[in-house]
Amino acid sequence: MVSHFTVIKKDPSSNARLGQLVTPHGVVETPAFMPVGTQGAVKAMLPRDLREMGCQILLGNTYHLYLRPGHELVRELGGLHRFTGWEGPILTDSGGYQVFSLGAMRKITEEGVRFQSHLDGSSHLLTPEKAVEIQESLGSDIAIALDECIPHDAAREYVRASTERTMRWAERCLKARSKNAQLMFGVIQGGIFEDLRRWCAEEMTAAPFDGFAVGGLAVGEGEQLLHMIGAFTAGLLPENLPRYLMGVGRPEDMVNAVRAGYDLFDCVLPTRNARNGTLFTSRGKLSIKRAEFANDPRPLDESCECYCCGNFSRAYLRHLYVAGEILSAQLNSLHNLYFYHQIMKRCREAIREGKADIWTPAPAAGVTP
Amino acid sequence: MVSHFTVIKKDPSSNARLGQLVTPHGVVETPAFMPVGTQGAVKAMLPRDLREMGCQILLGNTYHLYLRPGHELVRELGGLHRFTGWEGPILTDSGGYQVFSLGAMRKITEEGVRFQSHLDGSSHLLTPEKAVEIQESLGSDIAIALDECIPHDAAREYVRASTERTMRWAERCLKARSKNAQLMFGVIQGGIFEDLRRWCAEEMTAAPFDGFAVGGLAVGEGEQLLHMIGAFTAGLLPENLPRYLMGVGRPEDMVNAVRAGYDLFDCVLPTRNARNGTLFTSRGKLSIKRAEFANDPRPLDESCECYCCGNFSRAYLRHLYVAGEILSAQLNSLHNLYFYHQIMKRCREAIREGKADIWTPAPAAGVTP
């Protein structure tokens, strides 16, 4: 049997690897970044523009799509691909992350999570079986087993108990599967405790998952712990299956994680920052609203080949932002996502050429070109 | 000397004509619709998508660009084309329409209009000379002479005095010109009074304008007066120069005006309606927010070949609108503008084929497919 994941090449100087992930809607070359299509749309982006910039795979949010427009409606309309007009691969999360973010509006039991909709306050129960049902209705290429995303400052005893429950939920998710074509990833939790991470990884990797997601990181634990626990956990996962570091992140975090052996990433940062006027460049971040750009005829990033940098000045982008034009969100999102995809492309090239050790992106923090 | 405007063909059954308008940034085949780029951007539209849908010429608003980012800044940055990334023809209005819309915040004298900025309350004086200076700084292909847009219910004596002042202002605009390449259109006012329209047209057409705009219509006077005064005024204008019916309008109004002999149109309707979820189709208007579209798998308009209709269902478009996604404004604007450009394209084809009498678009009002 041909595997859905192939490691094409391994970097000699790190744990980075070049891979190919085969899904029902096409092949993803890894490492790859997945733009977030929260409500069935990557904010301010036409699918054709995503495709054009080299986007290979999108992430859809189970929680949001379940509440609106509803997974059954999406299924009736032919699934999430047909519904959104994105014909490439889609990964859906389990809904867990959003539900756990609801704080006082949710209650965890062994059965699942009872929560109130942020839209209308209505009550819902998200069980492992329900998470699978929703994702099968959405028809994503990769589903994620339901897990609890644990706060970074949770006490050890809570982390232990929660991680154990996540493992029981994972088993229920596997049992609930009815579609063979849809891949399913298990989620490794365990907080900042290496022994709990190891325990969770051992249990999870013994189950027939098609890949593994690492959760509970990039949730406020700080850069050092993120890199440390991230790298430690990657080392616990099988070489022959894809690894997805959930919610990461900043360009330098992603590149670090590529070196640690991760293959897939997602983050709202490029699109959310874009709408706030914060733009990534090869020389660092840039806040386009600043007065100094009012008459700056240069493109955002002189070394960028995106549509935005090829056609518009910083002065124009600042004007659009200040004037509140929708086009501001469009052009900024287009650039930031292009930038993210270029980082992944350069990672893949660096691994292919055996040069992963020498390529480092500019730090994202506070540098103004 | 070769003229900038050529009538290619006249329709035997109406006053419609097929024309070619040569501008410094390219040729416009008329009749043509000009999307409105109020603040240097057509709302929610990338320039490349406008180009792709057959858009030939944009309208820029002198009032808005003067206040923000400022015409001098735009000039320093290479003019409006370079600034906005739109390399095709641009027509700018005189700023008069917006200033007169300010109501209590403006005061008219012979010298010009003193007004307060809607952005910060600062005081400004818009004179005919200033309107020309701003438009020359913006570097538009076609400038409009400063006029007063008269309320549709103004008393005859006011209309007479105002129209006379508009004629004096027009003369001052011509005198203030310093650029030969930029075309300048004079504006015909005169309200709903045929004798005043005739008087204004006689005076204006005696001056060396490169075309004529007809103003003071589509401002609340009703469909019948719009068509009547519009057709009457068109008949007063020289055959060999372009005619622009300002602010018109609904699809049926435009087609009517094409038959009356107009060549250029502009209106915020397609883009503003798009953002409000009101979409034009070959079978009438459609409000995408309605519950009946929640599970409708059909495209917006089955006979439309735009990117939106080719890839997305009514159900998805409704979802995007209800969810408040920016993509809703993008796809809706793309469709509505495509629809408007198709109307103009069909008008041109109908005239070319001598069939202008038989083609009528669906009424815009209240028909739901």
| Residue-level pLDDT at B179 | 78
Which of these, A244, A224, A236, A235, lies nearest to A200 by C-alpha position? A236
| Residue-level pLDDT at B100 | 85
pLDDT tens for residues B59-88? Answer: 999 999 999 999 999 999 999 999 999 999
Burial B322-343 (b: 16+ CB within 10 A, else e): bbebbbbbbbbbbbbbbbbbbb
Only one residue has tokens 């670090």, namely: A256
Beta pairing, strands A183-188 & A106-108 = unpaired
| The model scores a pTM over 0.90 | yes
Question: CB B322 to CB A46 under 8 A?
Answer: no
For residues B258 and B347, what is the distance between their CA atoms, to the nearest angstrom? 8
Question: CB A41 to CB B313 under 8 A?
Answer: no
Q: Within a 10 A sphere around the Cβ of B209, how many other Cβ atoms?
A: 21
Chain B residue nearest residue A323, CA to CA = B39
pLDDT tens for residues B293-307? Answer: 999 999 999 999 999
Residue B116 pairs in a beta bridge with B123
Chain A residue nearest residue B64, CA to CA = A323
- The alpha carbon of residue A301 is apart from the nearest alpha carbon of chain B, in Å, by 16
Preferred mutation among A52, A311, A321 to probe B, highest tally of B CBs within 10 A: A311
pLDDT tens for residues B11-43? Answer: 999 999 999 999 999 999 999 999 999 999 999
Chain A residue nearest residue B86, CA to CA = A311
Residue A244 pairs in a beta bridge with A213, A264
ω before A361 within 30° of 0 (cis)? Answer: no
pLDDT at B358 over 70: no
Only one residue has tokens 């109020």, namely: B38
Given pLDDT bands bounded at 50, 70 and 90, which one contains residue B367?
very low
Question: CB B73 to CB A311 under 8 A?
Answer: no
- The alpha carbon of residue B44 is apart from the nearest alpha carbon of chain A, in Å, by 5
pLDDT at B101 over 90: no
Q: Which residues of B are catalytic?
A: 93, 266
pLDDT at B46 over 50: yes
DSSP B216: S
- The alpha carbon of residue A330 is apart from the nearest alpha carbon of chain B, in Å, by 8
Q: Rounded to 5 degrees, what are φ and ψ at B287?
A: -95, 105
| Residue-level pLDDT at B155 | 97
Alpha helices in chain B (DSSP H): 47-52, 62-67, 71-76, 79-84, 96-101, 128-138, 156-176, 194-205, 223-234, 251-260, 269-275, 307-311, 314-322, 326-352
pLDDT tens for residues B314-339? Answer: 999 999 999 999 999 999 999 999 99
Q: Which helix (H) or strand (E) holds B107?
A: strand B106-108
Asked if A244 contacts A254 with a C-beta cutoff of 8 angstroms, the reply is no
pLDDT-above-70 percentage for chain B = 96
Write out the DSSP string of A51-103. HHTT---EEE-HHHHHHTT-HHHHHHTTHHHHHHT--S-EEE--SHHHHHHTG
pLDDT in tens, chain A (369 residues): 568 999 999 999 999 999 999 999 999 999 999 999 999 999 999 999 999 999 999 999 999 999 999 999 999 999 999 999 999 999 999 998 888 888 878 999 999 999 999 999 999 999 999 999 999 999 999 999 999 999 999 999 999 999 999 999 999 999 999 977 999 999 999 999 999 999 999 999 999 999 999 999 999 999 999 999 999 999 999 999 999 999 999 999 999 999 999 999 999 999 999 999 999 999 999 999 999 999 999 999 999 999 999 999 999 999 999 999 999 999 999 999 999 999 999 999 999 999 877 667 666 554 444
Q: What is the average pLDDT value for chain B, to the nearest integer?
A: 95
ω before B238 within 30° of 0 (cis)? Answer: no
Question: CB B294 to CB A85 under 8 A?
Answer: no
- CB contacts under 8 A, B 63-82 vs A, are 68-69, 73, 76-78
